[in-house]
Amino acid sequence: MTALTTNGILSSTRAELLRLRKWPAVWVTIGAWLALSLMFGYLFNYLSYTSGDSSFSTEGTTKAALLAEMMPANVPDVFVQGMPMFGGALMMVLGAIVAGNGYGWGTWKTVFTQGPSRTSVLAGSLVSVTVAVLGVMVTSLVVDFGCSLVIAGTEGQSIVWPSLGAMVESFGAGFLVLEMWALAGFVLGTVARGPALSVGLGLVWALVIENLLRGVGQLLSPVEAFTEILPGTAAGSLIGSIVGVERGGDGTPGVLDVLSGTQATWTVAVYVVVLPLVALWLVRRRDVV
Amino acid sequence: MNESVVETHGLTKRYGDRLAVDRVDMTVKTGEVYGFLGPNGAGKTTTLRMMLGLIRPTAGSASVLGQPAGRPDVTARIGALIEGPGFYPYLSGLDNLRVMARYRGLPKSTAAAALARVDLADRGSDKFKSYSLGMKQRLGVASALMGDPELIVLDEPTNGLDPAGMADMRSLIVELARGGQTVLLSSHLLDEVQEICDRVGVINKGRLLRESTVADLRGGASLVVRGFPVDATLAVAMEVAGEDAVHLDGEDVLLDVSPGQAPDLTRALVARGVDVHQIGSTERTLESVFFEMTTEKEAVS
């Protein structure tokens, strides 16, 4: 890599970070994830625990088990369990708006005339999205620990920390899943040259089509084989390998046990490598009009 | 002064069956203000986009600052405003320039200085989406000026500006040229181009029809005489200027001679008993030349 490219990537990353940091839509997306994560990870469970009522996600769970789920030792599981479904969907929205809006606003045109090569600009944008994903994860982790400590303190429970290994495993798996969906959104935004179509298509795919295909796959084996390489299946299975999947139970939406942990990790990793290359290929060869 | 900053050779862009730019050979020289003229859809913006590497030519080549167009090290030496300003609507004008300054690897202070140069300093903290069209345009020009690039490409920079804003923009462009920067200005405002450009290229339907200095394009000044009887006026005019240099346009006799010959012509006409009703010099405007060129070509095609 030449010095020119390195400088271009650095300057592009600094520029992208500045504009992402000041973009309300980014904060809304991140805020939505944190709110959903808190609601489904702690709020509903705590309300069920204190009221004794069962919600759809706590049916058949004892109060002791509910409390245990909200303790610091269980943070590695709670932290990642929402990622295959709404965490991934929200990161896909983030990637799609970062890439797609630039076409409608004409900002890519402006940026491509500033000096850095298209490769550098794209790399800078992808690094910035990755920084945003990491920021989301760190914030989410801190908030999850904060909630679990408050609940443990309120309920007079002794504090047991999770093992470092479990934390690293969760963080790594969660990062791969969120990064994959953010990159998928980035590619969709680039393909569609706008955020609306890419967000719509991406969400329908992630939340509906993949589920339907897995349903069909139970009847048709070629479709089943196809579903095993889909991003949703891989992401769900990767998280499923960490948090576990209830056999025959309703379980957490999006968390699957279709693939083994290793297989799922490799599949998600392949997406994380291939998706930026697809975006790069498209951006480099396209006319910017 | 004569070194070329931009050179295109057979530059062509085709979109399906439509030829947007057709074998354009164009040269912009160091330090000049070059006016790129053409009606809407003539191919001006497409040509400029190819010079900046935003789109790839179907055929031909463009070199800018001695390098193939589109190379990052070349683009970094160009400031450009292409087909309207493209900025982040949620950011202020100043923050938009800061983002672009970061892309260029320029210090933060460059953004404020550029904003002041286009008289937007007092609105720098307002969101871009709240700007009027004229303010957006000025922000685009400010972005193009950051870092004092060697070549400034401005595509319709006065779009949306009020008369005072247009005058300011003209002054700014002249000032840039005086400072040694080369300006490539695309416009369909012919008065503007006539006033500030050294050389012009006229493009229509993708073809570069002519490239020359503004003075050459307009042709020399000539004399127009209205005298009676007309045939006597015509005869005297031919004696003074030569047959080939005289044309009759209704009752007016046009002479392709220097306006300095007016006294000689007047004396000759009076001596031959012609009643001289009017005598004066006439200059073709760039506008009239432009319309002649574009309509001639259209008539031929």
pLDDT in tens, B229-245: 999 999 999 998 888 88
CB contact under 8 A, B90 and A23: yes
CA angle B222, B225, B230 (to 5 degrees): 135
Among A35-39, A79-83, A128-132, A205-209, which stretch is predicted with the lowest mean pLDDT?
Answer: A205-209
Three-state SS annotation for A128-153? HHHHHHHHHHHHHHHHHHHHHHHHHH
Minimum distance, in Å, between the CA of residue B65 and any CA atom of chain A: 14
Beta bridge partners of B151: B78, B182
Residues of chain A with pLDDT > 70: what percent?
94
What is the arithmetic mean of pLDDT over A44-73?
A: 81
Q: Which one of A14, A22, A113 has the shortest CB-CB distance to B54?
A: A113
Give the pLDDT confidence score for residue B161 in this predicted structure.
85
How crowded is the C-beta side of B20, counted as CA atoms within 13 Å? 20
Q: Going from the N-terminus, what domains does chain B have, and what CATH number goes with each? A: 4-217 (3.40.50.300), 220-283 (3.30.70.980)
Every domain of chain A and the residues it spans: 3-33+71-285
Residues in B closer than 8 angstroms to A22, CB to CB, are: 90-91, 95
Question: To the nearest whole angstrom, how far is the Cα of A13 from the nearest Cα of chain B?
Answer: 8
Count CB neighbours of A271 within 10 A: 24
The confidence score (pLDDT) of residue A245 equals 75
* pLDDT, greater one: A121 or B191: A121
The whole-number pLDDT of residue B220 equals: 66
Residue B18: its pLDDT value, please?
A: 93
How much is the pLDDT for A249? 47
pLDDT at B280: 87
Q: Which residue has the higher pLDDT, B215 or A168?
A: A168
ipTM: 0.89
- Residues B205-224 have pLDDT tens digits of 999 999 998 888 877 668 89
pLDDT above 70 as % of chain B? 97
Q: Nearest Cβ partner of B55 from A4, A19, A288? A: A288
Q: Quick one: which of A238, A223, A227 has its CA closest to A272?
A: A238
Of A18, A109, A121, the CB nearest to B98: A18
Residues forming a β-bridge with B9: B61
pLDDT tens digits for range B113-124: 999 999 999 999
Q: Find the residue in B nearest to A5 (Cα).
A: B72
Which pLDDT score is estimated for B300? 44
Residue B44 pLDDT grade (very low, low, confident, very high; cuts 50, 70, 90): very high
Cβ separation B103–A121 shorter than 8 A: yes
Nearest by CB: B72 against A111, A115, A287: A115
Which pair of tokens denotes residue A76? Answer: 């590695």
Whether the pLDDT of residue A92 is over 70: the answer is: yes
Answer whether the bond into residue B89 is a cis peptide, omega within 30°: no
pLDDT at A3 over 80: no
Which residues on chain A place their C-beta less than 8 Å from a C-beta of chain B?
A: 4, 7-8, 11-12, 14-15, 18-19, 22-25, 105-117, 120-121, 287-289
